[in-house]
Amino acid sequence: MFSKIENNYTLSELGRKIANPAVLFFALPWLMILLIIGTITQRYIGLYESVQTYFSSCIFWWGVLPLPGGLLTIAIITTALSFKFLFYSKWNFKHSGIILSHLGVLILLYGGLITSVTNKEGFMIIPEGDVVSNFSSYRNRVLNVEPSQDKKIAIPFETLKVGKEIKLDDITIKIDELCDNCSAQAPTGGDDKVLQGLAENMELVSVPSEIEAERNLSGITLSLTQSSNESEIGTYILLEDIPKNPEFKTEKQTIKLSLGREKSPLGFSVKLIDFQKTDYPGTNKAKEYQSDLIIYDKNAEWPVKISMNKPFRYKGYSFYQSSFVENPELEATVLSVVKNSGRAFPYISSLIIFLGLLIHLIIRLISKNREVS
């Protein structure tokens, strides 16, 4: 019996500590600090890296010191408010407005956690006149192996390592080199490999990553051998999204190799009609830019304009004018794409908070009038 009382007392004390206002006193300022740090560092490490490091992480490292990230901080705040709301609220009519407002805040926080776990982010590069129906991941790349006799194999880039072997029915593919962001240089020679395709004229060199993740160009150098007699087929280079990729025949099948970003279908198509850029006077620095698009969805189509401060939203997707590609051979728009499954949570929570504050104000006014009378 004493053990049961002691356990209940311990749980009660734990609940009070979790719901203690001191938790919010430290957590909320830290969240504000993260927002400031994340906003400032976008300039130096890019938007995607900043979000992943400071907002979508449980822990991030400041030198050798581990610090709580945005996801963990919001989880702590949400847990503290949940305990306070469920176990230590004054459940009566007089405090109904406050309780409703707290519920709205919790819905906002839980919605944020759901969004951070389920949302998808990527980008689209659309040259003028082209139609695109999918978007590419910022980080996730895949090595595509397409044997004619089997289904297409998509191997995540991050799982590849130098020396790794991929065995198919009659060939073995070995990874010789990898680089997240590659540059090319003239081949140095010095080995007896049978160079094929791009590998005849270049070799890959790893270079520092770009601030904007979509501008990185990943690459792989790989060698192929016959599995039956271990005879060399050749050494090939794969560069991300390069249209000319190796295709070769064996005794049993034809095999295609390619390297690209992981793509997700939109369910509709986007065509770039015109990209417009306005520079600061006397400079080549962009002041503003916008894209004139046409959306195709089944038998319907309609024009859309996206600018730096005017996103476009459709079927759960939000499209933002992110950047552009401009050179003598190509003019293209770069759109950031976000699928936010929790987009409705802020609107619902704001309405509930407003109603809670309104009810609380009405109850206070009624109480004051009674005291006066």
Beta bridge partners of 48: none
2 band by pLDDT with thresholds 50, 70 and 90: very low
Residue by residue, DSSP assigns 218-270 as: -EEEEEEEETTT--EEEEEEEETT-S---EEE-SS-EEEEEEEEEEEEEEEEE
Please check whether residue 51 lies inside any domain of the structure: yes
250: left (phi over 0), alpha (psi -120 to 50) or beta: beta
Instruction: Give the chain's mean pLDDT.
Output: 84
Least reliable range by pLDDT among 184-193, 216-225, 338-347: 184-193
Spatial separation of the C-alpha atoms in residues 325 and 214, rounded to whole Å: 11
Report angle CA 351, 356, 358 to the nearest 5 degrees.
Answer: 95
Residue keyed to tokens 């009609």: 273
Q: Are residues 332 and 351 in the same domain?
A: no
Please check whether residue 304 lies inside any domain of the structure: yes
Q: Are residues 151 and 292 in the same domain?
A: no
8 pLDDT higher than 60 = no
Can you tell me whether residue 167 is helix, strand or coil? strand
Structural domain ending residue among the three candidates 263, 297, 314: 263
Q: Are residues 214 and 203 in the same domain?
A: yes
299 secondary structure, DSSP code:
T
Please check whether residue 127 lies inside any domain of the structure: yes
Least reliable range by pLDDT among 5-14, 143-152, 282-291, 338-347: 5-14
66 band by pLDDT with thresholds 50, 70 and 90: very high
Cα–Cα nearest to 115, from 344, 348, 349: 344
For the segment 170-179, the average pLDDT, to the nearest whole number, is 87
Please check whether residue 6 lies inside any domain of the structure: no
Please check whether residue 108 lies inside any domain of the structure: yes
Domain count, the chain: 3
Spatial separation of the C-alpha atoms in residues 120 and 140, rounded to whole Å: 12
pLDDT, one tens digit per residue, over 305-342 is 998 888 999 888 999 998 888 777 778 899 999 887 77
Q: Are residues 151 and 250 in the same domain?
A: yes
Which range of residues forms the domain containing residue 317? 123-134+265-339
Structural domain ending residue among the three candidates 215, 243, 263: 263
Please check whether residue 105 lies inside any domain of the structure: yes
95 pLDDT higher than 90 = no
Please check whether residue 253 lies inside any domain of the structure: yes
Spatial separation of the C-alpha atoms in residues 276 and 272, rounded to whole Å: 11
Q: Are residues 271 and 259 in the same domain?
A: no
